[in-house]
Amino acid sequence: MDRFALEPLLLSLRGLSFPGLALAGLLLLLVLCLRARRTRRPGEPPLIKGWLPYLGQALKLQKDPIGFMRTLQKQHGDTFTLLLGGKYITFILDPYQYPFVMKNHKLSFKMFIKNILRKAFSIQMDIISDLNNELHDCYQLLQGKSLDILMENMMQNLQEVFEPHLFKTTNWDVTHLLTFCTSAVFETTFATIYGKFLATDRKKLITELKDDFLKFDNKFVHLISDVPIELLGNTKSIQKKLIKRLTSEKLANIQGWSEIVQMRQHILQKYYTFKDVEIGAHHLGFLWASVANTIPAMFWAMYYLLRHPEAMAVLRDEIDHLLLSTGQKQGPGFSIHLTREQLDSLVYLESTILEALRLSSFSSIIRFVEEDLTLPSETGDYLLRKGDLLAIFPPLLHHDPEVFEAPEEFRFDRFVENGKKKTTFFKSGKKLKFYLLPFGLGASKCPGRFLALIEIKQLLIILLTYFDLEIVDDKPIQLDKNRFLFGIEYPDSDVLFRYKVKS
């Protein structure tokens, strides 16, 4: 049974009472279980379904992604197919096969992302080729001179966020690290990309928007599954609320749109009417892409620095030397102005961020198999079935001891060699073209990765330059693993830290 056969059942869920929803949910589960009945055909990769209907191997993979994948790799080799949440996903674990995924025209990223747009952000209009291409062209405004403008505005917004702290006494402030990072990243990113609310209560408005966004993001993995949104509590009402907040009418009350938002809005109004609510759905998708992974990435960079004072000392020294060499003195108020080239010269700062991403990124690079095709490999060719998904699983590479010595350890200088950026890593005696993939690969590579790295760098520079920072909780924090296959993992609990203005 294909996706279209499910549509009448999904539509019938609307307006049902709780008992009706429960019954419909059971019927949906039955249909999905029937879809999961499958046998391996000659020439196909090893098929591992597990005994759980529909879920398949999802719980085992979520519990210990690296350990489970290593076990399967020993048993079945570098290529195998798993049943995960009603989907058949063929995983490629050999990094030297990654280019095949990038170049094969029968493997579609657009088809995969189309389903995400519909399920997560309620973008119902089929992505017309022209609209899709025009929106994609907007990403050029996240590079070059446009990126320099965004970077300058971002630093100004960061300074506004932290300016009130400079007028406090030099006593310690104690707060939760994830809460701290969430507020700083969300407020700064929104102000940089969308601008600032004109209303006098704009602080209240941005806080409400942030809180609703976090509730929505918490259900993201469920939203993109086959679970109807009607069965996810109040998620649908929160989604609608967020979309309404980002419609053309509401955005008109925000001043200081970035170039990319201006261009996107202009394009969207060519295909929708001004009052069309779906414009807000597109903006919600863009906002989610801008902050959903930057927040946990910032948390882990901060957390590892707080847990490794020796790393913090090296970064402070590196930043101080750059400021002195550019004639910038640390005085009252924020006065740091750095170019992109100067930011790039902070090799230990960048290495720290990359190492945090290596340890916390559990995203996969996924493609939709549009036609039956043959996957070549050194151990024999495999047939891939139309309608399946194909996935690269970078976390296994990121934790490979052959590539990264002591991969479970945080080493802030792992990506520095002889005072310069280290880009040479090996596996099986051969140099790896791809060794760190937190931002994806090929067509699915995150277009906002440069801005995200800049934001984390600027935020760390401000904190390390103007504040003393110390961890309060000594408890170790683990990955939550609820977002495995989809981005940077959040921590399984928050942790207290303290900060004060340097005397």
Rounded to an integer, what is the distance from CA 56 to the centroid of its chain? Answer: 25
Q: What is the DSSP letter of 279?
A: H
Q: Which two tokens stand for residue 292?
A: 């959903």
Six-digit token string for 185: 């990243």
Tell me: is residue 110 an annotated ligand-binding position.
no
* CA 489 from centroid of its chain's CA atoms: 8
Does 293 show up as a binding residue in the annotation?
Answer: yes
Burial bucket for residue 3 (CB in 10 Å: 0-12, 13-18, 19+): exposed
Amino acid present at 42: P
CA–CA gap between residue 468 and residue 304 (Å, rounded)? 15
With tokens 């070549």, the residue in question is 376
- For CA atoms 293, 296, 301, 302, the dihedral sign is positive
Query: Does 446 belong to an annotated binding site?
Result: yes
- CA pair distance 310, 322, nearest whole angstrom: 19
- Sort 327 into a burial class: Cβ within 10 Å, 0-12 / 13-18 / 19+: exposed
Cα distances from 358 to residues 64, 354, 488, 499, in angstroms, run 16, 6, 9, 26
Asked if 80 and 48 touch (Cβ cutoff 8 Å), the reply is yes
User: C-alpha distances in angstroms, 477 versus 135, 332, 333, 492?
Assistant: 39, 35, 34, 7
Which residues participate in the annotated binding site? 119, 293, 446
Binding site members for substrate: 119, 293
List, as residue ranges, the binding site for heme.
Answer: 446
